[in-house]
Chain A
Amino acid sequence: MSPPNNIPYIPSRLDSKVLYEYAGKLLLAKELPLNTPLLQENFTKIPSIKRTLFYQECLRCGNRQSHLFGKIPCAGCNKIHSYCRNCIEMGRVLECEPLYYWIGKEPIWPVFDSPLTWRGTLSKYQLEASKRIVQAVNRLEKELLIWAVCGSGKTEMLFHGIEAGLKQGKRICIATPRADVVRELKPRVQAAFQEVPVQALFAGSDERAGSAPVIIATTHQLLRYVKTFDIMIIDEVDAFPYHHDSTLLFAVNRAKKEKSTTIYLTATPRKNLQMKVAFHRLPHIFVPVRYHGKPLPVPKLRLCFSLKKDLKQNQIPEILKEWLTLRANPNRQVLIFVPTISLANAFAEKHEEFQQLGFISITSVHSEDPLRIEKINQFRSREIDLLVTTTILERGVTFPSVDVIIVDAGHTVFDEAALVQIAGRAGRSSADPTGEVIFLHDGKTEAMASAVRSIEMMNRRGGF
């Protein structure tokens, strides 16, 4: 039944649902229902593209690079003007249309007495990190870095910190550069806080309102928020594209409140964060041991002289075949990392060769593969026993029992962080806490050497 339309709109207070949805947002005209007068009163217009003598700036994404602005003969205003190409995936910012910026009051977010429904236990190291996060939240510390090895159970370490925030009615965001990671995190966080609304935001997500106290989002989605979050948790802070794209840093910084706590999570901090740690400019805590208490598998380097020639002809190198047959535990599934999409596809076509080596179901996966989510799930359920992949599977995904080989580990796509992350795919479960990691190369690079050093360093810190 629809309400009778002769009842006047009472502008005393916003319908709370609308309030939670729009508070703290920075929106395009298209994203704002302009027929709600009170909403309009709570938003103010600001120009979308600012011009100075030397550059233009998109006030939604901070872009100032001239090649990321386009010119459009606009049928809306009949003028030729700029638009931002940098943030166009989030809806087009046109120079002739203002942005709408929330100036209304902040809603009061619910206070939860005991929001944590997760009943698992934490390892000694996890517990230490967890306590440190709770402390940072309660004391409103500005930033904290959690430097935790792959497979240390980062998500579980966050739960008590999130709990502490929710008990104080704080607004919490977990941001990560990759949509796949958002998809993976959402059910785990929701299961841990069953009574708390949790929303996942990424390009193409079903949920769009972004009105929950706990938001899990890709860093891009944060472009729609201004000074909104009390606790900002940035997962995989070193991951592409976050460390490449200044837009994402801009988005994260603008989305948090002036007084807020930022928690960075990473297994492989980039040099800039490591420097800040070394100079005591960034409080941090190490988690050097995996949750199952076993050391990280240390990669072995295997030299292959014919590598470049083999790859050029899309041949599987003999050394790779040999390794596949001589593995210590043939029950493990195999992940083969290759540097390019075309190589991934070419290898996966060699069914017969792999079948002769005892593999039945072989496929490839990469970032542009429309079936990638299905394939990852099939690999996890062991319907696929050998998966050829690009760096898309370097992080954020967990398989219980795999051996890993990187073909052409010296290729530039495999930087130190990528190599450490890939090595971290092996030995993830307590049922099979080890696994082989091979770097197949035709000349050792600094990245390979550093990756091995940093894994050994973490193992030493963990007391192994």
Chain B
Amino acid sequence: MNCLWCHEAIILDVNWLNILIPSVPRNLCDTCASNLEKINGKRCRKCSRIANIEVCEDCTKWEKYYQGYDVLEFNYSIFQYNEHIKKIIAKWKYRGDYELGNIFNETFKQEFVKKFSHLKNAVVVPIPLSRERLEERCFNQAEMLADFLQIPKVDILTRVHGEKQSKKTRQERIISKNPFSIQQNLNKYAILVDDIYTTGTTLRHAAKLLQMNGCPRVFSYTLVRG
């Protein structure tokens, strides 16, 4: 087995413990694995940003924007957005190195169970790419993440092609119109899945649409808090 990121051979050391209990196959070497930083300690309970207050300033603004009824109940993210994960995500998503997504398979599954397994009768909804973007990249990273999870996935959102989100300012993103459309109603809890939570605007656009089409509660689960 070679490290998915640096391609160095991974030498598994065999000891009396892992001889008895087959260890989870690792796809990152120790060095690359140690460069991923999980979000530890105190975080905003609504968006997972590292913070010393319970609800961060941004989330307070969102509350206000929706007059106290934020369409997104909360977002949960696993990793901090450091240089290392930035590079991995860029290569995975933009260069299209599909296999790199498998780095997150185990963690994405485990953390989901911890945070969301109490929700009964929920489905995951991956944030879609526009048709043009999907043709260019050949896969959707949010779809890949959603497929790691062992609960039903529904693809009921579509996205219309627009200019890149990253090129807009924060203000423009907030006021930009909803890029999604929806195919059918959904009367179950929805957990939106995407690779990264940055301002939360995209996820709220999707959440709003789900809510308007029968969805009682919307959450989001993202790999990284940007």
Binary contact track A52-76/B, C-beta < 8 Å → 1, others 0 = 0000000000000001101111111
| Given A67-B2, A68-B7, A88-B91, A75 contacting B96 (CB threshold 8 A) | no
Q: How far is the CB of A328 from chain B (nearest CB, A)?
A: 40
CB of A229 closer than 8 Å to a CB of B = no
- Chain A residues contacting B140 (CB-CB under 8 Å) are 75
Complex alpha-carbon distance, A222 and B144, angstroms: 33
- Chain B residues, Cβ within 8 Å of A67: 1-2, 7
Chain A's closest residue to B134 (CB) is A75
B135-A75 in contact (CB<8A): yes
- On whether the beta carbons of B95 and A75 are closer than 8 Å, the reply is no
Whole-angstrom distance between the alpha carbons of A70 and B144 in the complex?
Answer: 15
Chain A residues whose C-beta falls within 8 Å of the C-beta of B91 in the assembled complex: 88
Does chain B have a CB within 8 A of A159? no
A94 with B98: CB separation less than 8 A: no
- Write the chain A residue with the least CB distance to B2: A67
Q: Does B99 contact A (CB under 8 A)?
A: yes
Taking CB atoms, residues of chain B closer than 8 Å to A94 are: 138
Cα-based distance from A68 to B8 in the complex (angstroms): 11
Q: Which of B135, B139, B140 has the most CB of A within 10 A?
A: B139
Q: Is the CB of A71 within 8 A of B135?
A: no
The listed residue (A72, A88, A368) touching B138 by CB distance below 8 A is A72
Asked if A72 contacts B98 (CB within 8 A), the reply is yes
**In the assembled complex, which residues on chain A have CB atoms less than 8 Å from the CB atom of B96?**
72, 83, 88, 92
- A239 to B98 CA separation, bound complex (whole angstroms): 30
Binding site secondary structure of chain A: mixed
The answer to whether B99 touches A76 (Cβ under 8 A) is no
Contacts of A89 in B (CB 8 A): 95
Q: Does A441 contact B (CB under 8 A)?
A: no
Give chain B residues whose Cβ lies under 8 Å from the Cβ of A83. Answer: 96, 98
Check if A70 sits within 8 Å of B135, measured CB to CB: no
The complex places the Cα of A73 from the Cα of B98 at a distance, in Å, of 9
Q: Does B155 contact A (CB under 8 A)?
A: no
Bound Cα distance from A73 to B137, whole angstroms:
11
Interface residues of A in 200-253 (CB under 8 A from B): none
Contact of A85 among B1, B83, B99, B138 (CB under 8 A): B99
| Closest chain A residue, CB of each to CB of B87 | A368
Contacts of B140-191 to chain A: CB distance below 8 A: 140
Is B97 at the interface (CB under 8 A from chain A)?
A: yes
User: Which residues does chain A contribute within 8 Å of B137, judged by CB atoms?
Assistant: 75
Complex: chain B residue closest to A74, CB-CB? B138
Contact indicator B139/A85 (Cβ below 8 Å):
no
Cα A92 to Cα B139 in complex, Å, equals 13
In the complex, chain A residues whose CB is within 8 Å of the CB of B139: 72-75
What chain A residues lie within 8 Å of B83 (beta carbons)? Answer: 368
A243 to B37 alpha-carbon distance, docked (Å): 33
Min CB distance, B27 to chain A, in Å? 11
- Of all chain B residues, which has the CB nearest A81? B138
List of B residues within 8 angstroms of A75 by Cβ: 134-135, 137-140
**Which chain A residues have a beta carbon within 8 Å of chain B's beta carbons?**
67-68, 70-76, 83, 85, 88-89, 92, 94, 368
7 closest Cβ pairs, A-B complex: A70-B99, A72-B98, A67-B2, A92-B96, A74-B138, A76-B138, A75-B138
Given contacts A70-B99, A75-B137, 11 further A-B contacts (CB under 8 A): A67-B1, A70-B98, A72-B98, A72-B99, A72-B139, A73-B98, A73-B139, A75-B140, A76-B135, A83-B98, A85-B97
Partner-A contacts on B (CB < 8 A): 1-2, 7, 83, 91, 95-99, 134-135, 137-140
7 interchain pairs, CB-CB under 8 A = A67-B2, A70-B97, A72-B139, A76-B138, A85-B99, A88-B91, A88-B96
